[in-house]
Amino acid sequence: MSISNKYNIPQETVNKMVKDGVISCSWPMYEEVYNMFLSYPQGKSKTQIYYEIAEKKGISERTVRDIISKMK
């Protein structure tokens, strides 16, 4: 879920808040990782999904797990 949907804020406002430093500049990447997680088929284990996302994004599996837990 995107932050704009979660808090009913227009995406343009969220982008401006990121640009102005009100919201962490990491947030757009968090949303992308979470959307990748949601788009994976149900047949794979969470560990395998974390690994594949980590490989695609060039981040650690632990970071992927942390992002997923923040976004739930």
pLDDT at 69: 93
Confidence of residue 61 (pLDDT cuts 50, 70, 90): very high
Q: 30-67 burial, b if ≥16 CB within 10 A, otherwise e?
A: bbebbebbeeeeeeeeeeebbebbbeeeeeeeebbbeb
> What is the tens place of the pLDDT at every residue in 15-29?
899 999 998 888 889
pTM of the entire structure?
Answer: 0.80
Report whether pLDDT(3) > 90: no
Question: What are the domain boundaries of the chain?
Answer: 3-71
